[in-house]
């Protein structure tokens, strides 16, 4: 079993759902965690801090490139390094194919896909210098199981897989591991909040 104590992990969307479960498991192992989310969730933060006090949280909208860069700079400034990056953030803006809007399409693409590309671009530079690191990208079985009104979400999650494969190949020579976790349908707040009346 690897010793993760005092490793530094940056994780997006970790105040609820799958991200919170991952953060909780890492906190149990003594990992120092930086949690980034759009909304504050004091109860989740308190739970994680009870496991490990080396946890910080700040709000950011990762659909915006400058805020992605800022979250990375803040993490390195505070802890001095990033050993692990978990790209967990995801959001749905579901619409029927006949009613797709540019706003919701680009919200989905930028939140679920572009944010990962921007983050991994800059975190990879840091990890390459250290010749170590691990990146975990959270995918979705929606890539294989189509549902109505999910086209933008499915495009973003399917593209994450091809991006992960290229990222893994390019970073392997620097001893940086890149993996994808592809969970099925868990009853998380995001799932509960989906609009079923589209």
Closest CA to 19 of 80, 74, 69, 62: 62
Q: What is the mean pLDDT of residues 8-21?
A: 94
Provide CB contacts within 8 A for 141, sequence distance 6+. Answer: 182, 183, 184, 185
Residue 98's pLDDT is: 97
What is the rounded radius of gyration, in angstroms, for the C-alpha atoms of the chain? 16
Confidence of residue 198 (pLDDT cuts 50, 70, 90): very low
For the residues of 106-126, what is the DSSP string, one character each?
A: HHHHIIIIIHHHHHHHHHHHH
State the chain's mean pLDDT as an integer.
Answer: 91
Residue 39's pLDDT is: 82
Q: Cβ(55)–Cβ(49) under 8 Å?
A: yes
Give percent above pLDDT 90 in the chain.
Answer: 79
* Residue 14 φ/ψ, nearest 5 degrees: -110, 15
Bigger pLDDT: 198 vs 69: 69
Cα distance between residue 19 and residue 109, in whole Å: 19
Confidence of residue 3 (pLDDT cuts 50, 70, 90): confident
Cα distance between residue 160 and residue 60, in whole Å: 21
- According to DSSP, the residues that pair with 195 across neighbouring strands are none
Confidence of residue 25 (pLDDT cuts 50, 70, 90): very high
pLDDT digits (tens, 9 = 90+) for 155-188: 999 999 999 999 999 999 999 999 999 986 555 5
DSSP tag of 140: -
pLDDT digits (tens, 9 = 90+) for 57-100: 999 999 999 999 999 999 999 999 999 999 999 998 899 999 99
Question: What's the predicted TM-score (pTM) here?
Answer: 0.90
Residue 197's pLDDT is: 43
Q: What is the mean pLDDT of residues 125-142?
A: 96
Residue 189's pLDDT is: 52
Confidence of residue 145 (pLDDT cuts 50, 70, 90): confident
Give how far Cα 16 sits from Cα of 12, 47, 48, 89, 97, Å: 10, 11, 11, 10, 29
**H/E segment holding residue 34:** strand 32-37
Q: What is the mean pLDDT of residues 47-64?
A: 93
pLDDT of 26 over the 70 cut: yes
Residue in the structure block whose two tokens are 């189509």: 146
Give percent above pLDDT 70 in the chain.
Answer: 92
Cα distance between residue 15 and residue 154, in whole Å: 23
């Amino acid at each position: 079993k690897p010793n993760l104590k005092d490793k530094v992990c940056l994780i997006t969307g970790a105040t609820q759902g799958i991200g919170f479960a991952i953060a909780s498991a890492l906190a149990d192992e003594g990992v120092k965690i930086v949690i980034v989310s759009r909304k504050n969730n004091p109860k989740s933060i308190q739970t994680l801090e009870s496991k490990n006090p080396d946890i910080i949280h700040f709000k950011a909208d990762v659909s915006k490139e400058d805020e992605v860069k800022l979250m990375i700079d803040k993490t390195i400034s505070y802890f001095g390094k990033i050993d692990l990056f978990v790209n967990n953030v995801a959001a749905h803006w579901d619409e029927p194919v006949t009613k797709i809007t540019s706003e919701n399409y680009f919200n989905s693409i930028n939140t679920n896909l572009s944010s990962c590309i921007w983050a991994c671009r800059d975190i990879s530079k840091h990890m390459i210098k250290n010749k170590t690191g691990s990146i975990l990208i959270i995918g979705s079985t929606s890539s294989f199981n189509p549902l109505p009104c999910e086209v933008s979400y499915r495009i973003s999650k399917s593209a994450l897989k091809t991006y992960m494969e290229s990222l893994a190949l390019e970073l392997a020579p620097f001893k940086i591991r890149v993996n994808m976790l592809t969970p099925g349908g868990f009853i998380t707040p995001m799932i509960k909040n989906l609009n079923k009346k589209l």
